[in-house]
Amino acid sequence: MSTIDDVARSAGVSRATVSRFLNGYAVRASREIEQAITETGFRPNLTARSLKSGRTRSIGVVVPDISNPFFAHAVKGIEANSRDDEYNIFLCNTDESAARQADVLDNLVGRVDALILAPATESASVPSALVRMGVPVVLLDREFADPSLYDSVLVDNEGGAGDAARYLAQLGHTRIGVISGPLSATPGRMRHEGFLQALAAEGLTAADQYVRIGDFRELSGYLAAKSLLSLPEPPTALFAANNLMAAGALKALREAQVRIPGDVSFVSFDDLELGELLVPRLTTVSRPTVEQGALAASLLAERLRGDAPATPRRCVMETRLSVRDSCCPPPMSVQKGGSFVASLDRG
């Protein structure tokens, strides 16, 4: 590879002049330099630039699961909003694991100027090395337990889950199964609480018996649903706190030959990728995905440009209950039967 010195020599100027030319300053020999660059096939060495400038022109994007369509779409939003600014993206997966996240973030130290992070758990934190370097961080979809020091882009998890709960309650369901995500992650905890609180406000109390805590992955949804279905008095409605667990739960329902919504009504937080193709079409709490990523990217861009307020911003995007065909009132036997309604008691 040819260096800036090769170009300088070939153009008959000093290295500094070439550097100025490259950085957009007016120089006399611009024609010669231009030609020398073409001839030598010179490309500025980004590493050397970084060493000098202290900036890498890269940002890190750390997500718990890239094969989760939500994150895949969010990443698309981030990309769309970062390309213009000539920032490259380091995309990393943490597999919903705090340990892995620590590794990943550690590896990112010194490689990125900024970070978009969807923390695996709220109890984790940004490594001190990153903090000391003053790397701006925007939290995506999830926060840390500490009163947040960083910008964040969330959705109304409580409200969305609450909508689902109210909807099921108002259809007349009393035995409602809940498949929550890990309570150690923001969406897991908030949806969990939002759902149960809304249920309570409707005069329903969720017995532990009907609550399962998964890990946001498909298998946990499958196991949770399976276990709920095996209850002596299985739920007449099911809420899954994210797309992947919903997919798992649906597989369990299918296996058990449970009819939806005839036997069991079903709502999930997050749309499923092929949700429109399923029979029945799934009623879901839907939310922006690409847009969430895009917003995170633009908050970060502002920080990088330095024109962002000192205090962190917390953006909460709205959810919407998309009522489709997977819910209906509970079967008659349950609607009437006092004896069946043991675990979730009205009022």
Partner DNA sequence: TTGAAAGCGCTAACAT
Partner DNA sequence: ATGTTAGCGCTTTCAA
The C-alpha atoms of residue 259 and residue 87 are separated, in whole angstroms, by 49
By CB under 7 A, tell whether 27 contacts DNA.
yes
Residues numbered 313 to 342 that lie near DNA (CB under 7 A) are none
Smallest gap from Cβ 41 to a second copy, in A, equals 7
Query: Which helix (H) or strand (E) is 213 found in, with range?
Result: strand 211-213
Smallest gap from Cβ 222 to a second copy, in A, equals 11
By CB under 7 A, tell whether 49 contacts DNA.
yes
Place of tokens 């718990």: 64
Pick from 10, 17, 157, 236 the residue near DNA by CB under 7 A: 17
Partner touching 86 among DNA, a second copy, none, CB below 5 to 8 Å by kind: a second copy
Partner touching 27 among DNA, a second copy, none, CB below 5 to 8 Å by kind: DNA
Cα 267 to Cα 63, 169, 202, 217, 236, distances in angstroms? 25, 12, 17, 17, 12
From the list 87, 91, 134, the residue with the least C-alpha distance to 110 is: 134
Partner touching 5 among DNA, a second copy, none, CB below 5 to 8 Å by kind: DNA
By CB under 7 A, tell whether 19 contacts DNA.
yes
Binding site for a second copy (CB under 8 A): 1, 41, 43-48, 50-51, 56, 58, 66-67, 69, 72-73, 75-76, 79, 83, 86, 88-93, 103, 107-111, 128-129, 132-133, 247, 250-251, 254, 272-274, 276-279
Sign of CA dihedral 234, 238, 240, 244: positive
Map residue 79 onto helix, strand or coil.
Answer: helix
60, 103 contact by CB (below 8 A):
no
What is the distance of C-alpha 210 from the center of its chain?
27
Pick from 26, 279, 310, 332 the residue near DNA by CB under 7 A: 26
Q: Could you tell me if residue 182 is left (phi over 0), alpha (psi between -120 and 50 degrees) or otherwise beta?
A: beta
The C-alpha atoms of residue 134 and residue 98 are separated, in whole angstroms, by 22
Nearer to DNA, 1 or 277 (CB): 1
Partner touching 309 among a second copy, DNA, none, CB below 5 to 8 Å by kind: none
Partner touching 278 among a second copy, DNA, none, CB below 5 to 8 Å by kind: a second copy
Partner touching 13 among a second copy, DNA, none, CB below 5 to 8 Å by kind: DNA
Residue 113 dihedral angles phi and psi, to the nearest 5° = -90, -15
Q: Which amino acid is at 255?
A: E
Q: Which residues bind DNA (CB under 7 A)?
A: 1, 3-5, 13-17, 19-20, 22-23, 25-29, 42-45, 48-49, 51-54
